[in-house]
Amino acid sequence: MIQIFCSATQYAAATVTAAIRAGLFGPREGVRRVLVVSDTSAVPEVGTPLDRMPGFDALRGEFDEVRSWNAFVSPHHPAGWSPRAQDARLWEKAVRLAWDLGDEPVEIACESLQANPSRAIADIFADSALHVYADGLMSYGPTRNRIPHGVSSRIARVLHLDLVPGLRPMLLSEYGVPSVAVPDAAIVDVLARLGESNARLLAERLPADRPPTAVLLGQYLSAIDLISQDEEERLHVRMLRAAARAGHEDVLFKPHPSAPAGYGDALRTAAAELGVRLTVLTEPVLAETVFAYLKPKLVVGCFSTALTTAAAFYGVPVARVGTELLLERITPYENSNRIPLTIIDAALPDAERAPLGEPVELAGLADELTPLVRAVAYCMQSRRHHALRPEVVAWLAVRLADHERYFKRRRLTNLRLPGGAPVRGAALRRHPAVRRAVRRLRATAAR
């Protein structure tokens, strides 16, 4: 048996390594494990490949070999290339030949099947069982796009991190795919080993006399067109002011790896005005490695998954900034970032208003978050989750007033849910679906 594990980020590779070490992919004997790394950034040629990043040696031992998907599909970009359906068998032969896979059976563990290269690899190995692993809060939301039956019927399970204990993932649930949590101890151990490899780098970069006590997380939201770059820089400044308000004079800013080089200029200017010593960490180090090494007293971000890993795995106090703005801006309603944004906004304190410094017990929030997440998910993908309608209607009828910011009135109206505008006769008559039905009825009557 050959097991192919596809990873595009160090965090994804750490997640699948933790699953392997937890025994979720069976014993090592008689199995050949291949890690396929890819870089889907806009210009991967100038980036650092996953297998060359600091700390990769802590993951390397679980795999018999490492292959580069970027090198295999060159000169095509890995995020934009996929095989034509009629060529899939030819590409399977090409991959088997290039990687010396022979005729052995293959099973695949990959990230989101919504996008390449995971989708391309799943299409190439059209007879292989699929294991989808999700490393963030998006696993709690609905599947973004329809998965063809030829792919969905092969998915064995969804592996996910138990970031909000008690909250069940909805990813691929409409296809009857079960979800399995990667044990916390396994992922924390893997992240700790990664941290050991990066300890020297962090020791060189962080001031030893007054180490930062607060960490700010950048997400590069302008890259996915949620807000402008200027707005995102102002968002970072708001994070800094919130940390300063909480009494932190030494702050670390960890920008997104894809952020431009000058992205922290406005933050440095604000830090000088506030009298805060700011360290900008541009090296490719996981946020979780920073948490383990630095043991900060506060982590502030917008809706990064790292906020929940800080709270769930390290017990660090966390807070959010700017989620109200993003809840207004995020489009379309089906945007997969809506569920992470909703969870963070509902679960974490507002860094600009609430008292800070106390850890957030995510395990105690599942009962409150579950109906909210399911209601938002239903509004995002109602056609795929018909069975949720009765409970969503009942919940909205009672709780909508306290959760209006998570729902759009137009969406509630279109779905005929509590909180929507009354449907007027004239508007109903103008609805395209109604007009088509009337034309069909008239044509039938004319016969």
Please state, rounded to an integer, the average pLDDT across all residues of the chain: 93
Calculate mean pLDDT across residues 293-322. 96
Q: What pLDDT is recorded for position 408?
A: 95
Beta bridge partners of 160: 134, 181
Over residues 34-60, the pLDDT tens digits come to 999 999 888 888 888 899 888 899 999
- Give this prediction's pTM: 0.91
What percent of the chain stands above pLDDT 70? Answer: 98
Q: Which CATH architecture has domain 2-186?
A: 3-Layer(aba) Sandwich (3.40)
Confidence of residue 205 (pLDDT cuts 50, 70, 90): confident
Residue range 105-132, pLDDT digits in tens: 999 999 988 889 999 999 999 999 999 9
Residues 6+ apart with CB under 8 A from 171: 132, 134, 138, 139, 140, 141, 142, 143, 158, 160, 179
- At the top level of CATH, the class of 206-360 is alpha beta
**pLDDT for residue 207:** 83
Q: Do 2-186 and 206-360 agree at the fold level?
A: yes
Please tell me the least confidently modeled range out of 95-99, 194-198, 250-254, 314-318. Answer: 194-198
Q: 């990769």: which residue's tokens? A: 56
> Are 174 and 195 a contacting pair, CB within 8 Å?
no
Q: Using only C-alpha atoms, what is the Rg of the chain?
A: 24
What does the domain layout of the chain look like in residue ranges? 2-186, 206-360, 368-433
Question: What is the predicted pLDDT for the residue at 272?
Answer: 95
